[in-house]
A and B are shown apart, each in its own frame.
Chain A
Amino acid sequence: GDSVTQMEGPVTLSEEAFLTINCTYTATGYPSLFWYVQYPGEGLQLLLKATKADDKGSNKGFEATYRKETTSFHLEKGSVQVSDSAVYFCALTTKTSYDKVIFGPGTSLSVIP
């Protein structure tokens, strides 16, 4: 079945460090790919998305590129801030996922001053 794998962390970085969170997927057909973020005490919110191969999603300094050949959607940010501390979920939908979003296990990020 469809699934998402991501590094689980926790990941601890110093402010202004470079961030990469790896995400790979298994899916039938051509999935749409997403990164959701959950700040402490809040619900999830969409960070960025890409719906076809080679698309790059970007938002708030974060980027991820849909790589069909490696079935990956790695999240990157050039310079993290303390306010980026959160849990990041990679996710996908497919035309056969019956209205379900398939979430990865989540990666906890802590950014220290």
Chain B
Amino acid sequence: DTEVTQTPKHLVMGMTNKKSLKCEQHMGHRAMYWYKQKAKKPPELMFVYSYEKLSINESVPSRFSPECPNSSLLNLHLHALQPEDSALYLCASSQDLVTNTGELFFGEGSRLTVL
């Protein structure tokens, strides 16, 4: 059982839609991450929140907008996506900065299809 919960598990959206992905963890972790994963590839880092502040943005297009309402929740707002944005979006958390703790806890992911 994963302790990082992501919703929805599957999402289909058109290029003009606005939707959000949600992530929740109750482990008291202080860092949360969004990754994008294409089939048979490693996860690619998108954003890192550390103590509820955005600490890393890996030059992600503005059609992806992260939000961290509190230390347990992480959202990814989606708007005007392109078909090439179709992927598995993974949320992860770590007890502290992963450089210090070394371990990421992943959710099961939200599989996004953009038509």
Could you list which residues of chain A lie within 8 angstroms of chain B, going by C-beta atoms?
A: 32, 34, 36, 41-46, 49, 51, 87, 89, 93-95, 97-101, 103-106, 108
Given contacts A93-B98, A105-B41, A106-B41, contact A98 B103 (CB under 8 A): no
State the CA gap A34–B99 with chains docked (Å): 12
B55 closest partner in A (C-beta): A99
A89 closest partner in B (C-beta): B42
State the CA gap A15–B109 with chains docked (Å): 29
Q: How large is the interface on B (under 10, 10 to 19, 20 to 34, 35 or more residues)?
A: 20 to 34
Given contacts A43-B106, A49-B103, contact A101 B41 (CB under 8 A): no
Q: List 15 A-B contacts (CB under 8 A).
A: A41-B108, A43-B107, A45-B106, A46-B105, A93-B98, A94-B99, A95-B99, A97-B99, A99-B31, A99-B48, A99-B56, A100-B45, A103-B42, A105-B41, A108-B40
Check if A93 sits within 8 Å of B99, measured CB to CB: yes
